[in-house]
Amino acid sequence: MTTENRRALMEGFRDGTPIGLGYFVVGFSLGIVAKYVGLSPLQGFVLSLLNNASAGEYAAFVVMKSDAPYFEIALMTLVANARYLLMSAVLSQKFSPDTPFYHRIFVGFDVTDEIFGIAVARGGRRLNPFYNYGAMLTALPGWSLGTACGIVAWNFFSPSAVSALSVALYGMFLAVIIPPARKDKIIGGAVVVSFLLSYLAETFFPEISAGNRTIALTILIAGAAALLFPVKEDNNDT
């Protein structure tokens, strides 16, 4: 490993440590939900290791609980995690043109909102993939161990404590939604519409599974927002 790569790795590890600690806490709450689905600590650990995405995992747990077929679970996870395709495309443009393809694949394996944020925040510098690897060294273990510990802890807490801990995941969702909704009225409106349509869909179409409802509403609302309120292109190079 070159000195430059080693330095980038340590910088990523430093910047990713707070993320890993936060992931442990959120993963712990997600583990409570995983226990309701019937997953063992090992299953929860492996699932979180391979799918480091809170919304995507939670959506998968919802459809797993309803005994949905594998295809529906896979499609639900794909839709819930679709934003990572765009984030990966953005990060790939920040690599040096001679960056080997396998580095792009490995970096793309763990593109999360937070890792994407610290990588983009490095400004106009070319992105060294070892920076992402350093961040992943704390993010992946934190998320996976948090999920496994949440499943284990479920056996030692009272029902009221388990219920309280499970609410933490919804608190995380609110923490993700509220800041951009306050800054952008369009996002705020889309959030309100999604809540309303989700309630109406569950009320009037209970025969449709939760996974299929979520897939249909995600495509419908995201498509309508993109059509009615397109984002203007920024031609300024960074």
**Segment 97-149, tens digit of pLDDT:** 888 888 888 988 888 878 888 887 776 668 888 999 999 999 899 999 988 99
Q: Record the pTM.
A: 0.66
Among 148, 176, 204, where does a domain finish? 176
> Which domain, by its residues, includes 29?
3-176
> Average pLDDT over the chain, rounded to whole?
80
Burial letters for 69-78: b for 16+ Cβ neighbours within 10 Å, e otherwise? eeebbebbbe
d(CA 213, CA 191): 16
Same domain, 75 and 156: yes
Tally of domains within the chain: 2
Same domain, 202 and 94: no
d(CA 51, CA 77): 9
Same domain, 169 and 205: no
Task: Say what the pLDDT of residue 237 is.
Answer: 46
Query: Reduced to 3 states, what is the DSSP secondary structure of residue 87?
Result: helix
Same domain, 135 and 194: no
Among 130, 146, 176, where does a domain finish? 176
Q: Which amino acid makes up residue 72?
A: E
Same domain, 89 and 163: yes
Same domain, 42 and 138: yes
Same domain, 68 and 159: yes
Among 176, 209, 226, where does a domain finish? 176
**Segment 8-29, tens digit of pLDDT:** 899 889 988 888 888 888 888 7
Same domain, 70 and 155: yes
**Are residues 194 and 216 in contact, defined by beta-carbon separation less than 8 angstroms?**
no
**Are residues 59 and 80 in contact, defined by beta-carbon separation less than 8 angstroms?**
yes
Same domain, 157 and 222: no
Q: List C-alpha distances in Å: 16 to 19, 107, 115, 171.
A: 5, 14, 7, 22
- Residues 6 or more apart whose CB falls under 8 angstroms from that of 17 comprise 138
DSSP state for residue 95 in the 8-state scheme: S
